[in-house]
Amino acid sequence: SQLYWFTVEFGLCRQNGIVKAYGAGLLSSYGELIHSLSDEPEVRDFDPDAAAVQPYQDQNYQPVYFVSESFSDAKSKLRSYAAHIKRPFSVKYEPYTHSIELLDSPQTICHSLESVRDELHSLINALNVIS
């Protein structure tokens, strides 16, 4: 929950060397937005390992914020962090249903591979048509 809190809700990002807010909690609270961009809070470079254990404040303004170098940098660091989480299953995003698919059995993995194969065939056919 801390990673969500310090990115989606209260994330900061550098753009052309200027720190800007992108978190929904910051953008929806003028007071917190002004606070986050002032000299009062501690602003740290975004590190998922540090943000994951940083306590957050939901009664007052945040004493600590994390700033990413860019959205792609934050996304890359979050993906790397998530890839190293030890769990007995894998997941896959299903774009058609906008859901997460649990890959926890040979059957679900085979079904997912069949979908990838079908999509690949469609793309190859489309490429052949326009070539």
Residues 55, 75 share a domain? yes
Residues 34, 18 share a domain? yes
CA angle 69/75/77 to nearest 5° reads 75
- Count of Cβ atoms closer than 10 Å to residue 12 Cβ: 23
Mean pLDDT of 82-109: 90
pLDDT of residue 96: 85
Structural domain range at position 44? 2-83
Q: Is 98 left (phi over 0), alpha (psi -120 to 50) or beta?
A: left
The answer, as to whether pTM is greater than 0.85, is: no
| Binding-site annotation, residues | 9
Mean pLDDT of the chain: 93
Q: What is the domain count for the chain?
A: 2
Alpha helices in 18-58 (DSSP H): 24-27, 30-36, 48-51
Residues 125, 69 share a domain? no
| Binding-site annotation, residues for Fe cation | 9
* Three-class DSSP category at 123: helix
Residues 126, 68 share a domain? no
Mean pLDDT of 14-35: 94
Tokens standing for residue 77: 């660091």
Residues 72, 11 share a domain? yes
